[in-house]
A and B are shown apart, each in its own frame.
Chain A
Amino acid sequence: MTAKFENPTQDPVALRLVLSVVAIGFVALFLVLPLLIVFKEALADGLGKAFNAIIEPDALSSVRVSLLAAGIAVPLNTLFGISAAWAVAKHDFPGKTILVTLIDLPFSVSPVVSGLIYVLVFGLQGWFGSYLLDHDVHILFALPGIVLATIFVTFPFVARELIPLMVDQGRDEEEAAISLGASGFSTFCRVTLPNIKWGLLYAVLLCNARALGEFGAVSVVSGHIRGQTNTMPLHVELLYNNYDYVGAFAVAALLALLALLTLVFKSILEWRYADQLAAMHRH
């Protein structure tokens, strides 16, 4: 009987083969090929040319602007995410569902609209435009605008990973710590933080990748001043539109390497801390 037995939940071999080929083929065509072409084009004139395009002053300036914007946006959003998750997961209050939905909102807003809203607030014809002009404060077409747009597009990343995780972990451990006389701060540092650290790291990693790579929102507010307000993705666009393909793809390859590094770390975290991360994705 065992020889004849076919597992009814297993697909026939032919179907398995076809579906595997379709899946791998689609991923190869739509995901792997674009990745390959980035490195192929970057190295079209040799490694030296690509390297020169990256250490050229305007490119380095774009790296600096990107790192600075992400360096401000990611810690702020991390602080916000922890604070929002603490409020939502560890306390009861009316309107919680609305708050969580509002936190998620920036995810479904088009990147261009994310930039547009700050133009409408701080632009010359915006709410505070003339006030800012009179006081010589530059927000648009300067770093503050880029930071604001970056904060907006990465706004929910940390909060939406931490909220389900902390809801899942409940309040018992913190309540025990408090009832044993620990202060709120040391309860957070010594009870909550160790419980959420891998989930937090995971969220910060994704938040950072998006912050470094954001294009649409930043494009609207940056003003594209070469060597001053161009981020790395904007520098890629500028070089590409100037037909400097090797330069564009060299900077693009740097961004692609960062993306691959992010994926590697993400996979390691997912594999190593599957339990904790699974709690976040079950919701």
Chain B
Amino acid sequence: MSAFGLALTPMKLRQRRVLPGFGLSLGFTIFYLTVIVLIPLTALVIRPFELGFGGFWAAITTPRVLASLRLSFGMAAFAAVIDSFFGFIIAWVLVRYRFPGKGLLDALIDLPFALPTAVAGIALSTLYAPNGWIGGLLIPYGIRIAYTPWGVLVAMTFIGLPFTVRTLQPVMSEQSQDVEEAAATLGATRAQTIFRVVVPMLLPALLTGTAMAFARGAGEYGSIIFLAGNLPMISEIAPLLIITKLEQYDYAGAAAIGVVMLAASFVMLLALNALQSWAARRR
């Protein structure tokens, strides 16, 4: 096969494209991308600036908008850290250990991907309400989760978990255990091996998963609104404020928050790409 491929090489140089359908497939791809994604996103980016940059700045620096952005991004960061910690343990257990029911545990991890966010929202709200299974246990200690900012954290942790587990898992299972043996033969304790050999090797995947969980959490809406109570300045997330502004026909104001969130997702996307090329270089 490879000899045949080699023989073809000079021909390929003359005839630039061997396989047909390039124009059609790329044309349709770019057309569809433009209509569905690029034009509407342009409409978003332009909209808030109809009031000039000053108007845009004024729209996003009101205390209520700032509070909602701080809540969405702050809690998303907090949730991503929780997810990376427990995601690491879960991925480790799934890759390294053998126990009955492991397949079920593995399949369940994707539940937040598959379960509609509204369903997750009403379920979490029922669980964490003061009379719910979990909320009821916490009330005697004065801990309230539903209808407070902590509800935002719980919902974001729920939806972010698969991202950290699923980015770590394939890297962990591909990682050769030779280096751990080498560390052990050189006299390292198990803890030293884990924290100075294993974890640094998994760092790119861990950061990638954390960044993805953060991005997903910051933009999340469905699972949060049922649980958070949605009090302005306290537990009102940025996506909800966008909807509130739309309902008041404040399109420019809604678009201004949308642009900030879009800019944040762009930065995250760039960061993820950088992380991936860093990981590729280390391999």
Contacts and interface: CB of A to CB of B under 8 A. Distances in A.
B105 A23 contact: yes
Given A12-B190, A110-B239, A206-B113, A252 B123 contact: yes
Contacts of B63: none
Interface stretch (B53-61, B139-147, B179-187): B179-187
B133 A11 contact: no
A101 interface: yes
Contact of B222 (A20, A33, A111, A179): A111
B92 interface: yes
Given A16-B97, A84-B25, A240 B89 contact: no
A8 B265 contact: no
Contacts of A26: 86, 89-90
A281 B170 contact: yes
Interface in A20-53: 20, 22-24, 26-27, 29-35, 37-38, 41
A110 B25 contact: no
Q: Tell me the interface secondary structure of chain A in the complex.
A: helix
Nearest to A85: B25
Contact of A267 (B39, B103, B193): B103
Contacts of B261: 109-110, 113
Interface residues of B, number: 99
Of B4, B99, B106, B114, most buried by chain A (CB within 10 Å of CB) is B114
Contact of A120 (B47, B111, B222): B47
Interface in B128-163: 132-134, 157-158, 161
Interface string A200-236: 0000001001101111100110000000000011101
Contact of A34 (B127, B174, B181, B242): B127
Interface string A172-204: 101110110001100110000000000000000
A117 to B, nearest CB: 4
Contact of B221 (A30, A212, A216): A216
A137 interface: no
A84 B21 CA distance: 11
A69 interface: no
Nearest to A171: B19
Contact of B120 (A16, A34, A104): A34
A57 interface: no
A20 to B, nearest CB: 5
Nearest to A80: B32
A262 B40 contact: no
Given A178-B19, A252-B122, A233 B5 contact: no
A65 interface: no
A77 to B, nearest CB: 9
Contacts of B21: 86, 90, 184, 188
Interface string B93-112: 11011010001011111111
Interface residues of A, number: 103
Contacts of A252: 116, 118-119, 122-123
B254 interface: yes
A271 to B, nearest CB: 8
Contacts of A220: 243, 246
Contacts of A27: 90, 105, 108-109
Contacts of B126: 37, 41, 245
B97 A104 contact: no
Interface in B60-83: none
22 contacts: A29-B134, A30-B161, A37-B132, A83-B24, A99-B29, A102-B37, A110-B238, A110-B239, A112-B219, A112-B221, A113-B44, A125-B249, A152-B40, A171-B19, A175-B8, A215-B116, A216-B221, A219-B243, A220-B243, A233-B117, A264-B107, A267-B107
Interface of A: 8-9, 11-12, 15-16, 19-20, 22-24, 26-27, 29-35, 37-38, 41, 76, 79-80, 83-84, 86-87, 90-91, 93, 99, 101-106, 108-113, 116-121, 123, 125-127, 148, 151-152, 155, 171-172, 174-176, 178-179, 183-184, 187-188, 206, 209-210, 212-216, 219-220, 232-234, 236-237, 240, 245, 248-249, 252, 255-256, 259-260, 262-264, 266-267, 278, 281-282
